Structure 1
């Protein structure tokens, strides 16, 4: 199979990645039957093609403006098609990348697989994130109708697609592959180094947040929850935010907690080994998202033995079993988040037991190798000759 993928993830260009995106896509190229995998990355200027492996290559659009992503992506994809005549186009979402994929399907008669990594349909929280979303949604619905296959990362998203009118046999529920074994253990020195580099005081309880800077992550609710934690919890708390690129001093100012009770650190990106150390340094992992289709970071945190406190998004509800491996709180409710966080901080034995149960659940329900094989098996099904 020759696969063309269209993505917005700049981490695929080999720089600034948070997590395992490069390793995961390299592994796709290693699966049986995958002859080559080319990835068009919608990017700004100054990016270079990047070879993930001998048969996996990324190609940046180097657009002078995001407004040109669509036309630049189509032009680049057309050029690649002229050389390789792909069997299947895979898009990250049904929006910009999906429009490019639909264009390739029409022009080159390829099969089209659209991934749903977000919770877009029938979701007022997503609609409220940006005025542009109301404009984009009709295009997304058109792309979905044209797709030969749809991959949902959670059952909740698949059910929404069925309610929209997509036949269930065109949908596969395949979680994002996570190699849980990579997160299950780490050297104590790596954790100690993370604490030193992030200025975490001795004895401080660490609350960890991992996510990009996006309205969907609802950081105002997170910061309000941390402020409530500081009012309720008598010990010292450290918030480590990774991925959003927000200055630590700005976060601390928004939380507005007495400095003696709270310290804050923030990083825009971390290599995976340091991210794993961050999970193991954490006492509680916190997600304040307004909407999520899955929640890969929740899987990673649980794999590291960290209990979860998350808002009850479509994705979180499939991962968090309340009272077993963490707790859920209503979306947009910082006081409810704080209540669950404080309960875990004040009951470390309970928190430890929840983390251990989380490790077992992740290993049982979200095996990364199984998801990886399922993705490429879906590719084979879509590209198989029609009888």
Structure 2
């Protein structure tokens, strides 16, 4: 193992603090600074850049995709075609960043998200750095899957994925490694006084996006309120994606809550930085994605705080939630089953408390961010030796 400090460049697709961006932040802050000097490229100013600056991390703010930054899972082929007009801008940005990479010199580029990975593919012919693609999502159903396959087998030295569920999309690939995301167990921890008296609260935490299932949560909240009218519901998070199809979603949810007679029972908090404190005020955390989750970071954060979770089956949630032990699993899109699960845990405090304890113990052994960072450091060593 070399005694020198290795220069690492992380490229983030997102500029706010969703799940993938929190992984970037965890690694940038957590990697051994005596061995790794981390730089992070972000596409615009936002909460990720703010957090990186606060941590003293070298941060480059470059709109590297131009018009293409708005492309997402709901974009049409016409929007993809329109984004081609940004290619001259992308080419100029690649040349400029290649000079930075070679002059620093950056030894390893760690790209998070499809736009960062596409950009790193353009960068690859001009740099000597090793390349990791960190895949934080399911891609097989996306419009660009064919292109990802073509480039993914040639460009990166390794594909890094957070769950076995995502790894199954690359079952016949050779260069795939699973390293689960982790959580800071000192920050996300139970409080001795949490949920001692006061109103019962059920929360849903995460980015406001149509596929996350917020409408199903509101439908279930309406059903629960008919039986237990004193229960409070929190929707924590905001619209962090500036891609097509996400704008105005919070407004639609607020209108839906009013329509269902939940105006005084559901509170939309917007973005909150103090997630651990909020979790300690909740009796249950609900995670009801309509599509399979590639990971589900809020699940391990909630369980680390000793809060039982209810999640939809599919994807990595079945790797994270141990059914009946650390939480409950329900079918996606089924508001009735979700309401029944919420009522079951609210009515049985002893069972809920035991689930929370089991959840904390499970996360301590399986999802400690220190173990994640240690494995990433070992991976870097293997590529740079």
Confirm whether residue 166 of structure 1 aligns to residue 168 of structure 2. Answer: no
SS of residue matched to 1:258? coil
Change (3 A) 1:251 1:309: same
User: CA offset at residue 327 of structure 1?
Assistant: 0.7
| Alpha-carbon displacement from aligned partner over 1:114-168 (angstroms, at most 9, x marks no partner) | 11211223xxxxx4xxxxx32x222222232122111110122223212xx211x
Confirm whether residue 80 of structure 1 aligns to residue 100 of structure 2. Answer: yes
User: CA offset at residue 326 of structure 1?
Assistant: 0.5
User: CA offset at residue 318 of structure 1?
Assistant: 0.6
Aligned position for 2:281: 281
SS of residue matched to 1:43? coil
Separation of aligned partners in 1, 2:92 and 2:336: 45
Separation of aligned partners in 2, 1:176 and 1:155: 12
SS of residue matched to 2:311? strand
Aligned position for 2:74: none
SS of residue matched to 1:175? coil
Separation of aligned partners in 1, 2:293 and 2:373: 21
Aligned position for 1:120: 139
Confirm whether residue 101 of structure 1 aligns to residue 110 of structure 2. Answer: no
Separation of aligned partners in 2, 1:9 and 1:191: 34
Aligned position for 1:141: 149
User: CA offset at residue 227 of structure 1?
Assistant: 2.1
Confirm whether residue 150 of structure 1 aligns to residue 159 of structure 2. Answer: yes
User: CA offset at residue 284 of structure 1?
Assistant: 0.6
Aligned position for 2:180: 175
2:255 aligned to which of 253, 256, 264: 253
Change (3 A) 1:352 1:252: farther
Separation of aligned partners in 2, 1:308 and 1:72: 47
Separation of aligned partners in 2, 1:152 and 1:219: 26
User: CA offset at residue 239 of structure 1?
Assistant: 1.6
Separation of aligned partners in 1, 2:183 and 2:48: 27
SS of residue matched to 1:180? coil
Change (3 A) 1:154 1:264: same
> Does the 8 A contact of 2:346 with 2:352 survive in 1?
yes
Runs of 5+ in structure 1 lacking a partner? 122-126, 128-132, 193-201
TM-score by length of 2: 0.80
Counterpart mapping for 1:341-360 below 5 A: 341-360=342-361
> Does the 8 A contact of 1:177 with 1:369 survive in 2?
yes
Aligned position for 1:365: 366
1:217 aligned to which of 212, 217, 229: 212
User: CA offset at residue 47 of structure 1?
Assistant: 10
Aligned position for 2:76: none
SS of residue matched to 2:357? helix
Change (3 A) 1:33 1:18: closer
> Does the 8 A contact of 1:178 with 1:366 survive in 2?
yes
Change (3 A) 1:82 1:315: same
Separation of aligned partners in 1, 2:299 and 2:46: 33
User: CA offset at residue 363 of structure 1?
Assistant: 0.5
Runs of 5+ in structure 2 lacking a partner? 1-5, 70-82, 240-247
Aligned position for 1:266: 268
> Does the 8 A contact of 1:151 with 1:174 survive in 2?
yes
Separation of aligned partners in 2, 1:249 and 1:85: 46
> Does the 8 A contact of 2:167 with 2:178 survive in 1?
yes
Separation of aligned partners in 2, 1:328 and 1:17: 21
Counterpart mapping for 1:48-63 below 5 A: 51=53, 53=55, 56-62=57-63
Separation of aligned partners in 1, 2:320 and 2:301: 11
Change (3 A) 1:320 1:353: same
User: CA offset at residue 11 of structure 1?
Assistant: 4.0
Counterpart mapping for 1:329-344 below 5 A: 329-344=330-345
SS of residue matched to 2:122? helix
The Cα RMSD (Å) is: 3.2
User: CA offset at residue 19 of structure 1?
Assistant: 9.4
Change (3 A) 1:222 1:144: farther
Separation of aligned partners in 2, 1:149 and 1:205: 46
Separation of aligned partners in 2, 1:213 and 1:77: 32
| Number of matched pairs | 349
> Does the 8 A contact of 1:7 with 1:97 survive in 2?
yes
SS of residue matched to 2:328? strand
